[in-house]
Structure 1
């Protein structure tokens, strides 16, 4: 944990530099002792990489990884730097971690949340598209939604199955990323997740669930009805959600909407409703060429300076770096950095003449679905950093044996601490989503707010009411609060304090 050989004080200095974004201080400390990149705090076991990722300091993140920081290191709650970056929406940090081949499928110890859950619960679209980049092949969007026969489509089907399995991975209580995006009213995230094969009919667990107030066995439509966003409900219904789905409490989505005061949804969620449902095109945030350019960037690196003297070999976008990739179709050449930035940020609606999910070329507007590496590009693969053995390593971090250990006795080799995978830890029912808020409706006091834009109710989960309210209103609020303040609904107090301890260090 970095608390041996007198490196604790220097480690705390590096933690402060990573939190504050002091690149000069961090570089000086790492130049003196590169082992500090493996340091972790005593309380929450947060590494400097966790602090830098949570604060969005991309230069320090890259510096730590280049000096041997483990890209998959975990804190006390089992959360990685990728999860912290997705929690706060720092997509450039997510992009850097992906270049160093971080494990996007890892889940935390508390509730089995992946980085996709952290991104979806806070509506960070760019983080979602980056996290799933390794699962989306560079093929036309129609091929992702059809199961073709023959050897030609077998690889696409394997990728599609892996994508569906990852997107529909359930956290504590059976909650998927689609459930959380629908509950919080992020309709654009709901649309993107559905395009990425999220199961619109997925239900939470029928036993031991912590979502008792919405109901065990609930679909994303139940959660959207609780959240109150009209567009979320429309998208789910347009993609096949059922108004007649009953949860374990015997509630329809309409019943959930009435319980939570979402009166503006009743006409849409009524079982025999004739309300028109708009047709929603594929999400603008699909990015088919992202996987190809990400693999090229891992292989040849993000060049920081030009390597050719001929002006024709210089990237026409940044006019700084040499071209290393070419777009399939139009064959326009770009540098890997510009191509990666283009695929990570573009949200321009696709034209009817190009496949959905293609990225428009910045030079000719031709739809790009894949990039290829130029033959003359030098390979500069980003390798995973090796463990440094001067500081005492955490037992949860993988440790590679050095040369002396490799030729040691069999007994010594048995004592080498190996990596502990997340599969060995059961995600207990505690603190699934402490950042989720259940907005209370105040429609009895006035007109209902407009939820089409994804805005929240101005009064969210308020445990104490104003003393100036009438006694009748206090009685109604008391009955409602009696329903909504159950500590077992979204988090357990014990585990919430554990996660709060880790986050308090970062946000100090």
Structure 2
């Protein structure tokens, strides 16, 4: 069963708001109960973060992450929000999750598929580019003529140890296998996604990776199949040409005894016979760098994590505005041309644009079209303060928190009265006081002779003849304390004893006791006598 925090009805409303993209509804619900951000539906365990990521609602994803949701939370089958967004191609959501340090190496519980497998299977090259952003440094030297990233550099022109470590980590990420030994290159080749195949080959995908026996539908191709076997099954000429250009063996035999040409014949891809024939004379063109290979992406993501997206308006800051959006201040500058942009525009340029081949992986500057290899931070980009997350338990709407002025200056408070605010915990104690409810004047019923019973009529007649027994001006049933009586010590005297002592000192009895005594004295009956 899923874990529910708070009211389940409010949690379902938040799930519906996340699924439908209702940002105002989600903000209102989280403002009332911040714990709803961690709500999960019963049974399926789908959190609002999964629904928002699946539908591509980036603003709601950001809102949930700001309220403390675990970015790597899993649903019932082990899929994370990053896998959901890569599966449906929502690259903006992928970008947000990467900024919040989502784990790209996690696999689901069903087949061990990672976010990279989902992106490659569905042909989302932009998502693939963002998934490897932390493994591709902003340096053209990273993309040399050598393609096999599993072999360390040797010789006088070897790169630094850090670059070698990044290449090794990138190779492991790109060639990570799911159940059956299937890699992302196998899936992209099978589906015919040429852009993903091109990018994966540039990132160091192994064209000789082989599958093994596993009870799935792809086993009909045969265990021991290479990505070229899968491309032949899919029937994509472009994918087969890319694999052959990067050294794929068109004579490799799988466990069924088939070469890629025979796989194409079994699956009816007869247009591949000339290209995959053992003695094929079809020329194979050399393959350049992928346009989705972006070098400055790592630098701008690191700046965004450190300083945020720089959403300060130019009206509030008085600084120079970004030349692209004309709304935000400039926080980063391009290495080389030196043109200044805001962090959000630079991140969009690297995530959504196409790169140049010279220098390798550079993106064109939107102002001068010169290649940008990396970005540097400007002095106007101040680091984000490590704000303490607010407590999940809030106060009621009538509670106030008294806090020391030295620890919490007035400029950090959003309202002067400081009501209904959840503040971070501190070793310094705070006094919490709840404002009492306002007094209510309840209307008292008046005596109506037409609706009165005989007993009520007789009692009213008695009160008319004896005004001192009236309840107006205060009830005589309550204790009347003389002015000369000393005040009791309630700190040492029990409440029951002090009240009984006060009642014993009362000079008058209650009007009801006096009325009963008067009736007994005059031998009056409550019922009228018939003549």
Q: Same fold (TM over 0.5)?
A: yes
Q: Which runs of 5+ in 1 are unaligned?
A: 391-401, 405-508
Please give the secondary structure, in 2, of the residue aligned with 1:211: helix
Equivalent of 2:365 in 329, 351, 361: 361
For 1:314 and 1:9, how far apart are their aligned partners in 2? Answer: 45
1:499 alignment partner in structure 2? none
- 1:105 matched to 2:109? The reply is no
Give a deviation string over 1:287-337, Cα, whole Å, max 9, x none: 000011001001110122335878773211111111111111111111110
Given that 2:295 and 2:373 are in contact with CA atoms closer than 8 Å, whether structure 1 keeps it comes out as: yes
- 1:275 matched to 2:282? The reply is yes
1:55 alignment partner in structure 2? 55
2:40 alignment partner in structure 1? 40
Please give the secondary structure, in 2, of the residue aligned with 1:326: strand
Cα distance change, pair 171–389 in 1 and its aligned pair in 2 (3 A): farther
- 1:130 matched to 2:134? The reply is no
For 1:273 and 1:77, how far apart are their aligned partners in 2? Answer: 45
Q: Please report how far the alpha carbon of residue 212 of structure 1 lies from its aligned counterpart in structure 2 after TM superposition.
A: 2.1
Cα distance change, pair 297–142 in 1 and its aligned pair in 2 (3 A): closer
For 1:333 and 1:148, how far apart are their aligned partners in 2? Answer: 38
What is the correspondence of 1:19-418 to structure 2 with a 5 Å cutoff?
19-140=19-140, 143=143, 146=146, 147=153, 149=155, 152-206=159-213, 211-306=218-313, 313-348=320-355, 350=356, 354-380=358-384, 388=392
2:462 alignment partner in structure 1? none
2:518 alignment partner in structure 1? none
Q: Please report how far the alpha carbon of residue 375 of structure 1 lies from its aligned counterpart in structure 2 after TM superposition.
A: 2.8
For 1:141 and 1:262, how far apart are their aligned partners in 2? Answer: 40
2:493 alignment partner in structure 1? none
Please give the secondary structure, in 1, of the residue aligned with 2:333: strand
Cα distance change, pair 116–382 in 1 and its aligned pair in 2 (3 A): farther
Q: Please report how far the alpha carbon of residue 142 of structure 1 lies from its aligned counterpart in structure 2 after TM superposition.
A: 5.6
For 2:145 and 2:252, how far apart are their aligned partners in 1? Answer: 24
Structure with bigger RCO (C-alpha 8 Å, 6+ apart): 1
Q: Please report how far the alpha carbon of residue 363 of structure 1 lies from its aligned counterpart in structure 2 after TM superposition.
A: 1.1
Cα distance change, pair 287–34 in 1 and its aligned pair in 2 (3 A): same
Normalised to the residue count of structure 2, the TM-score between the two structures is 0.70
Given that 1:289 and 1:368 are in contact with CA atoms closer than 8 Å, whether structure 2 keeps it comes out as: yes
For 1:58 and 1:45, how far apart are their aligned partners in 2? Answer: 21
For 1:275 and 1:103, how far apart are their aligned partners in 2? Answer: 43
Please give the secondary structure, in 1, of the residue aligned with 2:93: helix
Give a deviation string over 1:238-284, Cα, whole Å, max 9, x none: 01000111111211001100100100001110111111112221111
Cα distance change, pair 3–197 in 1 and its aligned pair in 2 (3 A): closer
Q: Please report how far the alpha carbon of residue 87 of structure 1 lies from its aligned counterpart in structure 2 after TM superposition.
A: 0.5
Given that 1:105 and 1:114 are in contact with CA atoms closer than 8 Å, whether structure 2 keeps it comes out as: yes
Aligned residues: 390
For 2:258 and 2:133, how far apart are their aligned partners in 1? Answer: 37
Please give the secondary structure, in 2, of the residue aligned with 1:254: helix
For 1:46 and 1:109, how far apart are their aligned partners in 2? Answer: 15
Q: Please report how far the alpha carbon of residue 168 of structure 1 lies from its aligned counterpart in structure 2 after TM superposition.
A: 0.4
For 2:393 and 2:110, how far apart are their aligned partners in 1? Answer: 29
Q: Which runs of 5+ in 2 are unaligned?
A: 147-152, 395-423, 427-531
For 2:363 and 2:219, how far apart are their aligned partners in 1? Answer: 43
- Larger Rg over CA atoms: 2
- 1:12 matched to 2:16? The reply is no
Given that 1:141 and 1:357 are in contact with CA atoms closer than 8 Å, whether structure 2 keeps it comes out as: no
For 2:257 and 2:389, how far apart are their aligned partners in 1? Answer: 53
Cα distance change, pair 329–345 in 1 and its aligned pair in 2 (3 A): same
For 1:389 and 1:245, how far apart are their aligned partners in 2? Answer: 62
For 1:16 and 1:317, how far apart are their aligned partners in 2? Answer: 36
Q: CA RMSD in A?
A: 2.4
For 2:182 and 2:3, how far apart are their aligned partners in 1? Answer: 38
More divergent stretch after superposition (177-186 vs 206-215): 206-215
Q: Please report how far the alpha carbon of residue 137 of structure 1 lies from its aligned counterpart in structure 2 after TM superposition.
A: 0.8
Give a deviation string over 1:63-91, Cα, whole Å, max 9, x none: 11111111110001110000000000000
